[in-house]
Structure 1
């Protein structure tokens, strides 16, 4: 550290290293967000998107490749996430108490309702899927663990947003509410009305707002401080998730959310899931 006017200043080498680290993380982040197809991201596109020249990008990827956070296709030269990124993700999930506490509840709920069950956490303005239990005999949902989805058009997002601070709602609206389907709530006033209904009944509904043939119902999960920690949801095709069934499942999912919340130390009421009937698909 250099000193100037009696105050410690970061040395130029420290600043350069910090800048390089930020740019390397930007490279990693861009590949994470744009390599879902499995093909990866070409060097030219990566350089253009980040405003860097190709040689700089190649230099920044060296340690990422060495640690297997990135992988580079031998034939195309395109970059994609490496198995080191998977190890980091698994290490994170293994230390997430929420997930370990919720997992048996997810499995039990899935067996009862026969639909896909998700556990999500908040990452404004999105949600992130941290666990998923599905019936392999049913049509698979497009979601996957580690992926993100907009909060404003998902049941899980609205379940958390309904109990988050006012400024968070404003942030979500400011980030944009692009209509994804014909039924997406793309207006802030519509969203706020929906959040009010969610608070009143204790669970949220995604009525084909994120996927045109999928309905979803979700409930919040609270931690020991009383703050929203996550959301639990059930998703299925509209042919099985009728409007009437959604209402029945709503109270069931809300009660499971309360049970998980209690295990996390939250002071919530609610009856056991065992006392709640689950309707069969219509």
Structure 2
């Protein structure tokens, strides 16, 4: 019986903490009403939360807010994250759904670096290698990142022509990046390799900074222009879920 009571108290305390998290500050009366408990019960539950610095109480207004302890927990969680591990579930899910190759890259100015690759074994292998570098302007993963970098980043890039479809004019590239921001995903339409199309989306960290990107890649005979419109929202949704696990959100 005591263990059951302790479990119930813990669940109530967590409910109190979650309600405060979702607000800009709640008084004892407001908090009690929000969780459906008496003020005396809520007061008892908040004592250890305040002691652990998970909650703090404004001395002037009496309102409860999240304490510094929650920041320390969040930082410890983020420090322990490995991007490849965080993204692995989404990468394998995409491969299972679309039967194409999925790439994960990080941004290392002025390039992207491929840190993971999940392939559909039945298709032709992509030439990309883990650890290799790629350009920002001609790859889907690169454009997905570039679209959320400062506008003058384009000025510092060498817009090398990789194929006859590569966008090498800064003005055209900026127009393309504006389209990426509007739709939430980028497209490499045979711009980096002559027979390959890719669709990519940005990944944001807990500060809202773009740090990585994920893409679906395949031969243009399989990833047609019509299929791009189907794959775009899928890769954008996967990137958003990865961002969420990193403490960030999609734009």
TM tier relative to shorter chain:
0.5 to 0.7
2:126 partner SS:
coil
- 2:130 match: 145
Find out whether 1:202 has 2:184 as its counterpart: yes
Find out whether 1:216 has 2:198 as its counterpart: yes
Equivalent of residue 163 in structure 1, options 138, 148, 158: 148
* Deviation string, structure 1 residues 216-246 (Cα, Å, up to 9, x no partner): 0000000100000200000000110000101
Give RMSD over aligned pairs. 1.3
Report deviation, 1:268: 3.9
Aligned residues: 172
Report deviation, 1:98: 1.1
Equivalent of residue 234 in structure 1, options 200, 203, 216: 216
1:144 and 1:165 map into 2 onto residues whose CA distance is: 28
Residue segments in structure 1 that go unaligned for 5+ positions in a row: 1-94, 270-282
- 1:37 match: none
Find out whether 1:126 has 2:111 as its counterpart: yes
* Deviation string, structure 1 residues 48-79 (Cα, Å, up to 9, x no partner): xxxxxxxxxxxxxxxxxxxxxxxxxxxxxxxx
Residue segments in structure 2 that go unaligned for 5+ positions in a row: 1-79
2:96 and 2:194 map into 1 onto residues whose CA distance is: 25
Equivalent of residue 121 in structure 2, options 136, 140, 156: 136
Report deviation, 1:96: 6.5
TM-score normalized by the length of structure 1: 0.59
* Deviation string, structure 1 residues 193-233 (Cα, Å, up to 9, x no partner): 11000000000000000000000000000010000020000
Report deviation, 1:97: 1.2
Change (3 A) 1:96 1:141: farther
2:102 and 2:165 map into 1 onto residues whose CA distance is: 22
TM-score normalized by the length of structure 2: 0.66
Change (3 A) 1:148 1:203: same
Report deviation, 1:190: 1.1
